[in-house]
């Protein structure tokens, strides 16, 4: 064998070694990821179930009175659950269309000089801490909401004014906070669509708008759904900003009522809770965990259904 043959054999052996090592590393990483999810799930179940047996699942989920320190404690979180559902849904309804349309603008129609300005601004939004969003909400948004509230309920003697700290303020803050996630991931998914799809559609006589909405967006559906899932996770899991602008009161989730989300319920009281009160807060965390899992499963099922229909 000549030197070239030895070099090829040596190269193949080194490649096999690298591939085996890479497979071992990937397997370990996958195992750690699965173990982390299982550990979190097990911990939430172990910590969240004692209150269910002590207080009762029906009393916790369907009760409407939250008074853990009363003479006769009540641990009803129905209004808190409804607030999280309504608030998340409203923020997604507002934030997702704006985010997807902005992603389309950046990826398909924006002039390069303008895109060079807008994209860094969007990335800057992603780096702002949530507490800053809350502070801006208190300083800017809440006074505006209070003026709107005062105008709408000026002649209503039964309305309890919130000073602008209400569900509507929380929804707007959440919608703004999910924008960077939705925009960045959706834009990447849209740019990943092969240009041949666009050229073929345009060659067949479709307009640019028809091409975007009939060809590009369906092709990028998987990435856009991923963006929505991550946006929902950001909206559901947010606590600090919401605790500052929502009023943090257990209440019916009407737009101009001060409300409390599942996350803010845990954040507000965990520092001083004890015994059954603390166990119920862990149960709230378990409910929030299940809530997020169900939303992810539903969105993934919708995405898979869309793929099957497309086939």
Confidence of residue 294 (pLDDT cuts 50, 70, 90): confident
Q: How far apart are the first and last CA of the chain?
A: 53
Residues 6+ apart with CB under 8 A from 210: 201
**Amino acid 103: pLDDT:** 92
* Residue pair 51/199 in contact by the 8 Å Cβ criterion: no
Confidence of residue 168 (pLDDT cuts 50, 70, 90): very high
Bridge partners (DSSP) listed for residue 66: 75
d(CA 176, CA 259): 19
Handedness of CA 57, 61, 65, 67 (dihedral sign): positive
pLDDT at 9 over 60: no
pLDDT at 137 over 60: yes
Q: Is 193 left (phi over 0), alpha (psi -120 to 50) or beta?
A: beta
The 3-state DSSP class for residue 298 equals helix
Residue with tokens 């929502």: 246
Phi and psi at 74, nearest 5°, equal -125, 140
* Residue pair 144/67 in contact by the 8 Å Cβ criterion: no
**Class assignment of domain 77-310?**
mainly alpha
Whether pTM > 0.75 for this model: the answer is yes
**Span 94-120, average pLDDT:** 89
**Span 92-109, average pLDDT:** 91
pLDDT at 270 over 80: yes
Residue with tokens 């319920």: 265
Bridge partners (DSSP) listed for residue 85: none
On the 0-12 / 13-18 / 19+ scale of CB atoms within 10 A, 177 is buried
**Span 155-173, average pLDDT:** 87
The 3-state DSSP class for residue 63 equals coil
**Letter string b/e over residues 268-303, b meaning 16 or more CB atoms within 10 A of that residue's CB:** ebeeebeeebbbbbbbbbbbbbebbeebeeeeeeeb
CA distances from 248 to 138, 241, 283 (A): 13, 11, 19
**Amino acid 27: pLDDT:** 93
Handedness of CA 71, 72, 73, 79 (dihedral sign): negative
* Residue pair 80/170 in contact by the 8 Å Cβ criterion: no
Q: How many helices (H) and strands (E) does the chain have?
A: 14, 2
Handedness of CA 58, 60, 65, 70 (dihedral sign): positive
139 vs 12 pLDDT, higher one: 139
Average pLDDT, whole number, for the chain? 85
- Interval 21-67: pLDDT, tens: 989 999 999 999 999 989 988 988 888 888 888 888 888 898 888 88
pLDDT at 101 over 60: yes
The ranges assigned to domains in the chain are 77-310
């Amino acid at each position: 064998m000549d030197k070239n043959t030895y070099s090829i054999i040596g190269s193949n052996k080194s490649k096999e070694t690298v591939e085996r090592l890479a497979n071992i590393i990937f397997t370990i990483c996958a195992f750690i990821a699965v173990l982390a999810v299982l550990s979190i799930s097990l911990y939430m179940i172990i910590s969240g179930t004692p209150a269910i047996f002590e207080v009762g699942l029906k009393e916790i989920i369907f009760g409407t009175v939250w008074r853990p320190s009363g003479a006769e404690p009540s641990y009803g979180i129905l209004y808190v659950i409804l607030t999280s559902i309504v608030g998340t849904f409203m923020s997604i309804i507002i934030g997702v269309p704006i985010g997807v349309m902005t992603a389309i603008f950046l990826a398909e129609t924006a002039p390069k000089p303008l895109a060079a300005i807008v994209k860094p601004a969007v990335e800057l939004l992603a780096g702002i801490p949530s507490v800053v969003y809350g502070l801006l909400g208190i300083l800017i948004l809440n006074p505006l909401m209070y003026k709107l509230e005062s105008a709408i309920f000026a002649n209503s003697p039964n309305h309890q004014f919130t000073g602008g700290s209400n569900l509507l303020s929380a929804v707007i803050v959440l919608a703004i906070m999910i924008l960077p996630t939705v925009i960045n991931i959706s834009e990447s998914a849209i740019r990943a669509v092969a240009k041949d799809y666009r050229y073929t559609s345009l060659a067949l006589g479709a307009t640019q708008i028809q091409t975007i909405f009939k060809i590009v967006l369906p092709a990028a559906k998987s990435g856009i759904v991923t963006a929505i899932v991550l946006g929902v996770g950001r909206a559901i899991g947010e606590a600090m900003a919401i605790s500052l602008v929502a009023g943090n009161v257990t209440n019916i989730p009407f737009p101009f009522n001060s409300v409390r989300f599942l996350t803010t319920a845990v954040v507000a009281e965990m520092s001083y809770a004890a015994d059954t009160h603390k166990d119920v807060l862990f149960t709230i965390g378990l409910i929030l965990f299940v809530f997020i899992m169900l939303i992810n499963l539903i969105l993934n099922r919708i995405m898979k259904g869309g793929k099957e229909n497309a086939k």
